[in-house]
Structure 1
């Protein structure tokens, strides 16, 4: 970016603008946000809630209601990873993630003595015991199907598959025949049940490319491949039908229809702060952390990194992010015991930044109870990060 001739501040502010992090979309629905800014990565943490709150002011109740109404849903999608998608993209998301459970089955066939016929029969049995309205948790499914599920012994344990049940559940989800329902309606927890579903799986690699560059451009083919897991050949074929233009002096591509708007765009003159998760789409759609950092901030010692690594050398931030017009201006964690956000700022605190922190802090404390980064995150595991941030900001 430094040699592109395009001011870094413009690129960052544009990305934030396209990600609806500029404060202009209050009142949008969860489905509208996700359709416009991209699928929200979910790993049983608070990221979807934080992202929707930052972009549209949506509270947890509104998001949970959208999930219950199937306006949005968490599905295995790109690279087999779970994302929260709008209903219009359910079929495309499933198509994007279809290869992962097939690969899981192939591994089990090769190394664990599992056959496709065995798994297909298990899939049929599971479908017969599930209803469309009353979710069954995995333990209840296993009890209902009996001997159709079998253990995979020590070899399976070493490969992360103790029984054949997860293989079958993965295939059924990818085929749109079942869906996973959060046990208490919340996205930031780890208990799920399954119900029968009938969601067509459809969508091409080019459709996914079109969505991606609408959300993330300017972006490179390397960025696109990171998001999709595509090979170079598949990425090239997927983007060939699109009218993408290169930005001079960079490897970044932009849909031609967005070029006039991009050329006329100027970064806002006043700060626009947002507090989001470390896996928010502003970062994760590209997974290119240095592009969001000023050089001095990239050189900072990351208090949550191993071995004293600098912040800019990390693939992902170790904590949640504080943003201003696309630039990372700090990192934060939530300490549930005092009910407060602990942060390290890269810029002096002004009143709008203090207000943004207080607003997010109240949202987490009153509506979420915690701001877990991922499924295994907990107040206990987070304690060293919180202590490091307190020390760094002290």
Structure 2
């Protein structure tokens, strides 16, 4: 494969070439894929890097239910456009059943959880309550499961009930302050019309979306993203008319023709992305985004580990036409992006401008660039020091 062309194609399909300038948050997520959300900066940077969308616009789209954070693929939370709410919930529904198996081993029958679900729905009629208030008002309907429950990650029966209701589209989590970069929530009632698809058809629809988001991926890449079994993944792609571009990379026939005619842009175009941006996470294949010499480069601060030997990058990536060319973090105290480029390079003018623009966005609108909810300036300090040291 011509990796320069392939990486630029992935970058193009992800809307990182400027083609989505002015698009709404929902349009960006529909075109390029759902934004993984773990209480970090990724949903905001996803939309800023692709369409220049500012935080206020994103938060307004969340409030208007044009986009929303929901459990979906693999049961993980992603920010989805409204047109995919029902599909995402259907695909993630099985994960909500998992805690019930743990509860059964603790002596909690499903009927008890279903009664608790009914109580929660009644309480939330016309109201929005956080988990503490819900627990207080539900009283003895919520069972405390003692030390054994805590060891198994189920301190009470309430989280399992909330998970089932959220997966069913009967309640939704309301993010604290309306922001996507935290994991503090209240809950309220809502109703999501079902897809009308059986589970096999829903899996096929995810496959159709996925290969258009990526432009080209292997069946193994799709299985990682979807968590489908081999048989389910093969069945999901069976009707898609996928073409093998080489090395097992599959693309829809219309996109395969576009790829054949595609030429990588001759001039750089940079983006500072989150470490779980869809460009990386849809396939979770770091080496494919690195030039061969860069893959052999030691990770800053970890000289015994090579860049091309890790499943996930240690920091956020700096990307040029699909190729990872460096890493970055945000230093809250200094109010600046701290960067590191392969080969000890110095940013040229356009890259310096991109770094500065992203830094201003984070400083003025986000305040920080956490990778996930438990990330903090203190926990990040060693990585920032390593990037500064080169």
**TM superposition score category, shorter chain reference:** over 0.9
State the partner residue of 1:24. 19
Write the mapping of 1:1-394 to structure 2, written as runs, cut at 5 A. Answer: 6-109=1-104, 111-132=105-126, 134-202=127-195, 203=197, 204-248=202-246, 250-303=247-300, 308-346=304-342, 347-392=345-390
| CA shift digits 1:212-253 (9 cap, x unpaired) | 1110131011000000100001101111111111113x1110
Cα distance in 1 between the residues matched to 2:34 and 2:194: 17
Cα distance in 1 between the residues matched to 2:193 and 2:103: 26
Q: Would you identify which runs of 4 or more consecutive aligned residues in structure 1 move more than 2 Å? A: 200-203
Deviation at 1:141, TM superposition (A): 0.6
Instruction: Provide TM-score, normalisation by structure 1.
Output: 0.95
Instruction: Provide TM-score, normalisation by structure 2.
Output: 0.96
3-state DSSP of counterpart to 1:343: strand
| CA shift digits 1:31-59 (9 cap, x unpaired) | 00000000000000010001100000000
| CA shift digits 1:149-168 (9 cap, x unpaired) | 01111111111111111100
Cα distance in 1 between the residues matched to 2:381 and 2:194: 42
Return 322-331 or 239-248, whichever deviates more. 239-248
3-state DSSP of counterpart to 1:247: strand
Deviation at 1:90, TM superposition (A): 0.1
Deviation at 1:348, TM superposition (A): 4.2
Cα distance in 1 between the residues matched to 2:368 and 2:279: 22
Return 189-198 or 83-92, whichever deviates more. 189-198
| CA shift digits 1:101-124 (9 cap, x unpaired) | 112212221x21111000000000
Indicate if the aligned counterparts of 1:30 and 1:72 stay in contact, CA closer than 8 A: yes
Indicate if the aligned counterparts of 1:149 and 1:164 stay in contact, CA closer than 8 A: yes
Cα distance in 2 between the residues matched to 1:329 and 1:367: 26
- Count of residue correspondences: 383
Deviation at 1:342, TM superposition (A): 0.5
3-state DSSP of counterpart to 2:129: coil
Please list every run of 5 or more consecutive structure 1 residues that lacks an aligned counterpart in the other structure: 1-5
Cα distance in 2 between the residues matched to 1:137 and 1:27: 35
Cα distance in 1 between the residues matched to 2:102 and 2:213: 34
| CA shift digits 1:345-385 (9 cap, x unpaired) | 12542101001000100000000000000011000100111
Deviation at 1:304, TM superposition (A): 5.3
State the partner residue of 1:3. none
3-state DSSP of counterpart to 1:123: helix
Cα distance in 2 between the residues matched to 1:293 and 1:37: 21
Cα distance in 2 between the residues matched to 1:49 and 1:353: 20
The root-mean-square deviation of aligned C-alpha atoms, in Å, is 1.1
| CA shift digits 1:259-288 (9 cap, x unpaired) | 221110000000010001000000000001
Indicate if the aligned counterparts of 2:9 and 2:215 stay in contact, CA closer than 8 A: no
Cα distance in 2 between the residues matched to 1:168 and 1:105: 9
Deviation at 1:201, TM superposition (A): 3.7
3-state DSSP of counterpart to 2:216: coil
Deviation at 1:296, TM superposition (A): 1.2
